[in-house]
């Protein structure tokens, strides 16, 4: 049980880090993170995920600018609504990944024509590629924590998913699942409270 306790403690120690030191992360370390991600389970062991590792500041800025433009358009189209006023509080942070030394874009293979024909709207959930990529992303962030790196999984930028895919020249057979900012942490965030199991789960007996 000692090993289990240590692992569970390790899980609780991981934080979402959004402020990073101005220090690059080596290619070897970034490759180690991606390799760790590949040990996640995947649907039918297809491993149909893909990882795009971005370190040039110019590319990260182009990505953040695409996100900003997209959200500016969304806000303009919905100005005056209560919902968009609430969202505006968060929008300015959706491009924060540009300030990290590296960004790892996790994408998943989209269902093919046969799968879409057979399963219709249930194709993506049934095929499980996005779920597999999400599990790989968690592996990657845990590996980052183990190596002393900070990371943060971001999805607000996916409002500009098409623009990001063009910037990164991703195949149309891949769809971005999340962006992970990676770097040497320049903060130690306080853990936010967790909802109790009784509130977020139930046991069917």
30-64 pLDDT, tens digit each = 999 999 999 999 999 999 999 999 999 999 999 99
pLDDT at 14: 94
Residue ranges of domains in the chain: 16-188
Extract the residue ranges of the chain whose pLDDT is less than 50.
Answer: none
pLDDT at 90: 84
pTM: 0.93
Q: What does DSSP say about strands 150-154 and 49-54: parallel, antiparallel, or unpaired?
A: unpaired
CA 2 to chain centre: 31
pLDDT at 1: 59
Report d(CA 148, CA 109) in Å as an integer.
30
CATH code: domain 16-188 is 3.40.109.10
């Amino acid at each position: 049980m000692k090993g289990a306790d240590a692992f569970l403690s390790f899980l609780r120690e991981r934080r979402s880090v959004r402020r990073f030191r101005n220090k690059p992360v080596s290619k070897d370390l970034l490759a180690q993170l991606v390799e760790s991600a590949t040990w996640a389970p995947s649907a039918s062991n297809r491993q149909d995920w893909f990882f795009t590792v971005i370190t040039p500041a110019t590319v990260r800025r182009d990505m953040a600018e695409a996100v900003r433009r997209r959200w500016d358009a969304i806000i303009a189209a919905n100005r005056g609504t209560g919902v968009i006023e609430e969202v505006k509080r968060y929008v300015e942070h959706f491009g924060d990944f540009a300030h990290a030394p590296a960004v790892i874009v996790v994408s998943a293979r989209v269902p093919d024509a046969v799968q879409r024909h057979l399963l219709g709207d249930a194709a993506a959930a049934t095929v499980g590629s996005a779920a597999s990529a999400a599990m790989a992303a968690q592996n990657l962030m845990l590996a980052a924590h183990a190596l002393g790196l900070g990371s943060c999984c971001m999805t607000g930028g996916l409002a500009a998913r098409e623009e990001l895919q063009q910037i990164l020249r991703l195949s149309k057979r891949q769809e971005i699942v999340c962006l992970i900012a990676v770097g040497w942490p320049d903060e130690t965030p306080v853990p936010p409270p967790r909802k109790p199991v009784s509130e977020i789960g139930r046991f069917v007996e």
